[in-house]
Amino acid sequence: MARIGSFLVLLYLTYALTLCICDDETNYGGSERGNLFPGFYRSSCPRAEEIVRSVVAKAVSRETRMAASLMRLHFHDCFVQGCDGSLLLDTSGNIVTEKNSNPNSRSARGYEVVDEIKAALESECPNTVSCADALTLAARDSSVLTGGPSWTVPLGRRDSTSASLSGSNNNIPAPNNTFNTIVSRFNNQGLDLTDVVALSGSHTIGFSRCTSFRQRLYNQSGNGSPDTTLEQSYAANLRQRCPKSGGDQNLSELDINSAGRFDNSYFKNLIENMGLLNSDEVLFSSNEQSRELVKKYAEDQEEFFEQFAESMVKMGNISPLTGSSGEIRKNCRKINNS
């Protein structure tokens, strides 16, 4: 795994040297995206993206799983108050952290890597680059470092001075949600069904805890029976890692074929009834339109990569704080002057 991680880091750094970043606000339409545009730090912190990329590359080289963890942090941040870094705040004063919500408690990870990114940015450009932008860039770099697509990231987000535990509990889709609930929660953020399917493809990397899929193995509908859409031999293998009781933190790969490589294998698994989470498999089993998208991405990785990049930019633009709103935190874990 270390050898693979080192190869991916070298591949990405080579790619980064030739990356052409379009940082013209006018060409990108920054004024129409809440004043976010790729060249936001061109003068104030020209090495910002390079710094983030370097820290993330080292973290993923140490542990490939960290790429999925950082991408998940970005997703869970954007679905609560928009992409404003609220997830990164610890409990302090009037702040009640989102880290203890049901979707995040004992599962969200990677905060220390964000701290490392922020420290490096503060050393280079004090009081300039927001935690929200740092996390958004880290999500993009995590994709590239594991073999996935790249995209130009609009920048200029500012950090929130509040968090929402209730928003974290209520807005983020859960592993056992129904298809309609999942789509509704994405729609509430301005994301459509195509975004649902494409962004779910991020489950081609990373792991999930037993507690997130146990219901499918033993009691899917409350009648003591397993989920009939789960392939039987795959289910038997999962039961060895995930007993009826205990072992809540035991991990299984979200993509049984390539948990450390960002590709379209996830969608092929769904077609074979081998999606780990209920929220994965319902994309193939519960709706004709989403089923066709799953088939398309399973057949054409390039098509998936293009849509994933587009949907990640769209998600990253959810309700950003810009201008004089919010602040630029010095420490991502606490608001300034607290």
Annotated catalytic sites, by residue? 76
Binding residues are 77, 80, 82, 84, 86, 98, 173, 203-204, 255, 263
CA-based nearest residue to 97, from 165, 160, 161, 170: 165
Q: Buried (b) or exposed (e) across 317-336, using 16+ Cβ within 10 A?
A: bbebbbeeebbbbbbbbbbe
Token pair, residue 288, equals 């004709």
Token pair, residue 68, equals 């999925």
Binding residues for substrate are 173
Total Cβ atoms within 10 A of residue 112: 10
Dist. CA 14–CA 104, nearest whole Å? 34
Dist. CA 114–CA 130, nearest whole Å? 11
Dist. CA 296–CA 300, nearest whole Å? 6
Phi and psi at 251, nearest 5°, equal -105, 145
Kindly provide the residue ranges of all beta strands, DSSP E only, lying in the chain, ordered along the sequence. Answer: 207-209, 251-253
Residue 326 Ramachandran class (φ > 0 left, ψ -120 to 50 alpha, else beta)? left
Token pair, residue 335, equals 């608001």
Dist. CA 64–CA 2, nearest whole Å? 8
CA-based nearest residue to 36, from 125, 137, 117, 123: 137
Phi and psi at 161, nearest 5°, equal -110, 20
Token pair, residue 254, equals 């979200």
Binding residues for Ca(2+) are 77, 80, 82, 84, 86, 98, 204, 255, 263
The answer for residues whose C-beta is within 8 angstroms of residue 281's C-beta and 6 or more apart is: 227, 229, 230, 270, 273, 275
Dist. CA 334–CA 338, nearest whole Å? 7
Contact assessment for residue 317 and residue 36, using Cβ atoms and an 8 Å cutoff: yes
